[in-house]
A = this chain, B = another copy of it.
Amino acid sequence: MRKLPGLSETHIDHRAYPPGVAYMDGQYLPMKEAKLSVLDYGFLHSDATYDVVHVWAGAFFRLEDHLNRFFRGMEELNLSIPYDKAQTREILHNCVALSGLKSAYVEFICTRGTSPTFSRDPREAENRFIAFSIPFGSVANKDQMEHGLHLAVTDVLRIPPGSVDPTVKNYHWLDMVKGLYAAYARGADTAVLIDGKGNVSEGPGFNIFVFRDGEVSTPIASVLLGVTRQTVFDICSGMGIPCHARDVSVEDLKGADEVFVTSTAGGVMPVTRIDNKPVGAGGVGGFSEKMMAAYWEMHNDDSFREAVSYP
């Protein structure tokens, strides 16, 4: 008989992970130690909700909005954690302070969790809370921030609201990943997906905006109600610029004067090419530049910032 391999006691993981600090089960841990059971239904069924908030220059930006969305998402999915909003806020502050990061990407997650019997009934699972603070990341790199992203309009259908509520932030990204590979194959940086009516929806991790004839529009359906998206509405309101959530067709997108995308991971990011053609006059437009400047300026507003107390 063939000899069986031996059983190891603990997992040895040789991979490298980014620096940072995570919170799980009452412990603060180095990022490389933050691991969840492969039996967690947050993994095996992507049965989870989450949020991402960023820290910039040592302060959270719009943390209250991210916390509210997270707690609403848990309620929608019948998930719960043993922390209220104030306690969750404190955990996030601790993660960032312990990580020492002045610019951080802070994710917090509630998964369906596990049951000791691997029950298929989600009501029998013990939900799990995880939070972590790692270095700030962006959808667009430095060069793309300067010269603009190249976007591919794909025919990939964003998972429709009748299947999964896009306003409850979730990890169902295989449509996004399919869009990304399609975009790469066409020489683009990232992708935009379409909704059930053939209109523009959103891309991998971002909302999309078009600027034309002095007005701003963004898709109304099949999209996450992004906090950065809301920030653009707020900025437009302050500027006296009309900003509408409405159906945005592919023609609207391609015929725009300017296009930009928004994400907690990067803020407002310009798009200067779509399907290999320049947007508007080409180059990063004047309105997009104003919007980017206003976005970062808002980080100094005390009604949106919450300073972290570092050790």
Chain A residues at the B interface, C-beta cutoff of 8 Å: 1-2, 4-18, 21-22, 24-25, 27-39, 42-47, 77-78, 94, 97-98, 105, 107, 109, 112, 114, 116-118, 120-123, 126, 130, 132, 134-135, 137, 139, 156-160, 162-164, 170-178, 180-181, 184, 204-205, 265, 309, 311
Residue of B at shortest CB range from A116? B16
Q: What distance in Å separates the Cβ of A178 from its nearest Cβ neighbour in chain B?
A: 8
Q: Report yes or no: B116 in contact with A177, Cβ–Cβ below 8 A.
A: no
Q: Report yes or no: A4 in contact with B46, Cβ–Cβ below 8 A.
A: no
Copy count, this protein chain: 2
| A29 contacts across to B, CB distance below 8 A | 7-11
Q: Report yes or no: A46 in contact with B118, Cβ–Cβ below 8 A.
A: no
Q: Report yes or no: B116 in contact with A15, Cβ–Cβ below 8 A.
A: yes
Q: What distance in Å separates the Cβ of A186 from its nearest Cβ neighbour in chain B?
A: 14
| A132 contacts across to B, CB distance below 8 A | 38-39
- Complex CA gap A112/B177 in Å reads 10
Q: Report yes or no: B137 in contact with A120, Cβ–Cβ below 8 A.
A: yes
Residue of B at shortest CB range from A40? B43
A27 in complex: contacting residue of B12, B174, B184, CB < 8 Å: B12
| A98 contacts across to B, CB distance below 8 A | 4-5, 7
A5 in complex: contacting residue of B28, B44, B176, CB < 8 Å: B28
- Complex CA gap A2/B7 in Å reads 45
Q: Report yes or no: A38 in contact with B35, Cβ–Cβ below 8 A.
A: yes
Residue of B at shortest CB range from A175? B163
Q: What distance in Å separates the Cβ of A63 from its nearest Cβ neighbour in chain B?
A: 17
- Complex CA gap A10/B33 in Å reads 6
Interface-central residue, A31, A43, A170, A171, by most chain B CB under 10 Å: A43
| A16 contacts across to B, CB distance below 8 A | 116
Interface-central residue, A112, A121, A156, A171, by most chain B CB under 10 Å: A171
Q: What distance in Å separates the Cβ of A68 from its nearest Cβ neighbour in chain B?
A: 20
Q: What distance in Å separates the Cβ of A122 from its nearest Cβ neighbour in chain B?
A: 6
- Complex CA gap A16/B118 in Å reads 10
- Complex CA gap A116/B14 in Å reads 11
- Complex CA gap A178/B49 in Å reads 13
A173 in complex: contacting residue of B2, B27, B39, B47, CB < 8 Å: B47
Q: Report yes or no: A38 in contact with B36, Cβ–Cβ below 8 A.
A: yes
A134 in complex: contacting residue of B28, B42, B118, B158, CB < 8 Å: B118
Residue of B at shortest CB range from A155? B162
- Complex CA gap A43/B130 in Å reads 12
When A28-B6, A163-B159 are in contact, do A46 and B173 touch as well, CB less than 8 Å? yes
Residue of B at shortest CB range from A10? B33
Q: What distance in Å separates the Cβ of A13 from its nearest Cβ neighbour in chain B?
A: 6
Known: A15-B126, A159-B160. 8 other contacts (CB 8 A): A4-B94, A18-B39, A31-B39, A34-B37, A36-B36, A45-B173, A45-B174, A172-B172
When A46-B172, A118-B18, A309-B2 are in contact, do A11 and B38 touch as well, CB less than 8 Å? no
